[in-house]
Amino acid sequence: MSYFLDPFEYDFFLRALMVSSLIGALAGVTGPFVLVRRMAYIGQGMSQSILGGVAVGVSLGVDLYLGAVISAALSAMLIYWIRNKGLPVDTAIGIVASVFFAVGVAIVSSSRDRRLNSANLLFGNVLGVQIEDIVVVTVVSVIAAVFLFVNYKSLLAATHNPSVAAAHGVKARFMEIIFNALLATVVVTALQTLGVLLVAATLLIPAATATMTFKSFSKIICWSAFLGFSFAVIGLFISFHRNIASGPAIVLVGSSVFALNMLAGAGAQTTLRRGHPS
């Protein structure tokens, strides 16, 4: 029992738990849309691009989140611009993300500013969660929850087939823009907990686990949010007791459940085949 109670003797743990669980649920509820829109690479690219913005922002004395938001927006515009020049989108993402990431690493490696700790930025540091981080994550979570509550059906229709959705009265283009903005916001707010390298995994692992288990998309969304929340909470306890960074702990918990789920699924299919030789 003390395994679960001891961490609460420290104020930072409660703050970390609040932020991580909210981010976990937020990434979980956004993840299935990222998965079916085949945007995994965009999520990864966007999160890597943020490092450059954060590094430039902090070294100029600007707020960390402002630097992250500006770099996310700038990278999205550059990707769009390069793609319109005729290069494939994955090439555009690869180039832009690598350049922004390289700028970030270059500044971090030469800076003596304690806020630019490379391990914290890359893999997350919940020990450094401040009250303002909790406010930012809570506000983003409430906005995302309201948006998804009100627009779930329209967003799902626009994701399934935007042309059909538009013909049937859904503002498909608007849904596309708002969802991309939401994704960028989730990636930015997850920076403190997960670090720039592990955000994409947190978007995808709960969603992929739920997708393999359930047939209905509404169930996938609910379970993905629950799994994202659970992975974050369990990962944070392990991070505390094993003294490892929070981001890797959360991702390793999620990936273990994903692997077990896959093995269980494969086992069930084998049993089914043995029972029905035809």
Partner 1 sequence: MISFHKLGYTYGGPPVLSDISTQIHEGELVGIIGPSGSGKTTMLRILLGELSATVGEIRYARGSQVSIGYVPQLDAGERTFPITVEETVLLGAAGESRRRPWFDKSERRRALAILERLDILSFANVRLNELSGGQFQRVLIGRALMSRPTLLVLDEPTSGIDLKTRSQVLGLLKELQNDGFTVVLTTHDLNWVAAQLPRVLCLNRTIIADGAPVDVITSEVVTKTYGLKMDVLIHNGQPVVVDSLERN
Nearer to partner 1, 135 or 265 (CB): 265
CB of 36 to partner 1, least distance (A): 6
Nearer to partner 1, 58 or 157 (CB): 157
Token pair listed for 101: 């990431």
Nearer to partner 1, 164 or 177 (CB): 164
CB of 165 to partner 1, least distance (A): 7
CB of 172 to partner 1, least distance (A): 10
Token pair listed for 162: 């935007």
CA dist 155 → 29, 188, 267 (Å): 13, 21, 35
Nearer to partner 1, 173 or 241 (CB): 173
Alpha helices in 37-160 (DSSP H): 40-59, 64-84, 89-110, 118-123, 131-160
Distance (Å, whole) CA 245 – CA 122? 10
Nearer to partner 1, 61 or 169 (CB): 169
Q: Is residue 220 within 8 Å of residue 227, measured between CB atoms? A: no
CB of 41 to partner 1, least distance (A): 16
Q: Which residues bind partner 1 (CB under 8 A)?
A: 32, 36, 148-154, 156-157, 160-161, 163-170, 211, 214-218, 220
Closest by CA position to 190, among listed 146, 130, 126: 126
CB of 29 to partner 1, least distance (A): 11
Residue type, 146: V
Distance (Å, whole) CA 118 – CA 51? 10
